[in-house]
Structure 1
Amino acid sequence: MTTQLAGKRLVVVGGGSGIGREIAAQAAAAGAIVTLAGRDPARVEAAASRIGNGVGAARVDLGDEASIRALAEQVGELDYLVSLAAAHANGPVGELDRTAVAGAFDAKVIGPIMLAKHLAPRFAAGGAMLLFSGFVAWRPSPGLSVMATTNGAVSFLAAALAVELAPVRVNALSPGVVDSGAWDRMGAEKDAFFRDVAVRNPARRVGQPADIAAAALMALTNPFLTGTTLHVDGGGRLEVPSANA
């Protein structure tokens, strides 16, 4: 994979922290020319500085087509694009705010369509896109209807774009529960939650950003992989007995 990434131009949208930053770091270490893009310039610039290896930063808002067009013009030609952007609209259906729901679709579905519109014509031969889904699409639960729907749509979008944009390859990656920093808001409850997740999934552990980054870079560089959703979730989407059953 190191030789496959050397000199390749990679744009990571939503890569200011966690999994996205790890993807950028692994790719840059392998010799890729990486640009982190996100809504908060200070955040992506800080992440790029932390990674080093010449990683650049750019602003993009997936709810604003003009900013996507500007990103395309700034980037020029590229080889690989990853979109991890997300905006949450969680809660009971009866309490959902329409603006928040629309924002969730902008980040996960409409925005990636606009990324394809403006960036797909700029891909070099062998180029690939990777969109991020999530296991909640296959394991919905109360209060997560919007998340389940947007993540499910990502999977179908990747298949549709793989056909329309061919020979540009398009895949989706669906991670499970990953210790990426996103769960830190749980405070003292996080460790107990992770133990429960580990007991219930077949891998008997939670994921790490490095697990997801390795799969992401494989999806980008494998020339015979397209129109597929990779489930890198420790089996978390499956209904399995506990380790003590």
Structure 2
Amino acid sequence: MALTGKRIVVVGGTSGIGLATAHAASAAGAQVTVIGRDPARLSQLAKDNPGWRVACADITDADAIETIFADEARIDHLFISAGTIIIEPATGAMDRLRAPFEERVFGLLHVVRAAMPRFAPDGSFTATTGDLVQRPHPMLAAVAAAAAAVETLCKTFVQEFAPIRFNVVSPGAVDTPLMAGLLGEEGRQAMLADQATKVPIRRIGSADEIAALVLSIMQNGYLNGAVIPIDGGLHAT
């Protein structure tokens, strides 16, 4: 299933895996829409990629998401890569513990509700979660729980919105700007080095490698309801 001429929307596409997916889709001949919440990055993307449509909205803002999708006449494939990582103990601030659910769960619902009326019947929706679902970690309980909810929602939507396909990619450690913003450059380097020793292939992944899987999912018309780990084999250890 070729992507040439298809409309692909990337939510959370101004950096990291989302941006890599937007570039890969564009290189494959797709028409690209990137939605993000950083006006400066979106402005630069529009300058660097004249054929792209860019739109600014916070995924937690249902009205803003609806307004943006109202301008999409047809959607063939959608990839949602939005959602920050909140480090917070279970006894910590409730507003911070709610944040992953607002972004990953209710944000996903905002996007689905706005996008479904515009989807092509043979379209696909791909979400991203992470290996925290299978490998929970202290201080990240809310993120892991929200990611698990995303996987359940997508399996439910397979039936509710058939024949549109819903799949999930579940990356392991990936070198993206999110890590540097979260841990600082020294912390990022230390974390990546530590993770590399745990992965059977002895390295962490790249955003381009995740993007390649996302495009493959879009093009495989029989793949539906799957949660696909892409973690260098960590899930097998």
Class of the TM-score when normalised by the shorter of the 2 chains: over 0.9
User: Cα offset for 1:157?
Assistant: 1.1
1:234 equivalent in alignment to 2:232: yes
Identity among equivalent positions (%) equals 35
Structure 2 distance, partners of 1:182, 1:62, is: 17
Aligned partner letter, 1:219: I
Identify which of 95, 101, 108 aligns with 1:99.
95
Note the 1:78-227 alignment, pairs <5 A: 78-95=75-92, 97-184=93-180, 185-227=183-225
User: Cα offset for 1:53?
Assistant: 5.7
Aligned partner letter, 1:89: I
Aligned partner letter, 2:143: M
**SS in structure 1 at match of 2:163:** coil
1:31-53: CA deviations, max 9, x gaps?
A: 10001101222222323433x26
Q: Structure 2 stretches of 5 or more lacking a match?
A: none
1:4-31: CA deviations, max 9, x gaps?
A: 1100001100111011110000100111
- Name which structure has the greater RCO, CA cutoff 8 Å, separation 6+: 2
User: Cα offset for 1:183?
Assistant: 2.1
1:71 equivalent in alignment to 2:34: no
Structure 1 counterpart of 2:12 = 14
Runs of 4 or more off by more than 6 Å in structure 1?
Answer: none
Q: TM-score w.r.t. structure 2 length?
A: 0.93
Q: Is the 8 A contact 1:36 1:48 kept in 2?
A: no
User: Cα offset for 1:202?
Assistant: 1.7
Structure 2 distance, partners of 1:117, 1:207, is: 32
Structure 2 distance, partners of 1:229, 1:182, is: 22
User: Cα offset for 1:190?
Assistant: 3.1
Which region of structure 1 is more displaced relative to structure 2, 38-47 or 218-227? 38-47
Q: CA RMSD in A?
A: 1.6
Aligned partner letter, 2:90: V
Structure 1 distance, partners of 2:113, 2:85, is: 24
Q: Is the 8 A contact 2:88 2:96 kept in 1?
A: no
Structure 2 distance, partners of 1:233, 1:108, is: 20
Structure 1 counterpart of 2:22 = 24
Structure 2 distance, partners of 1:215, 1:53, is: 25
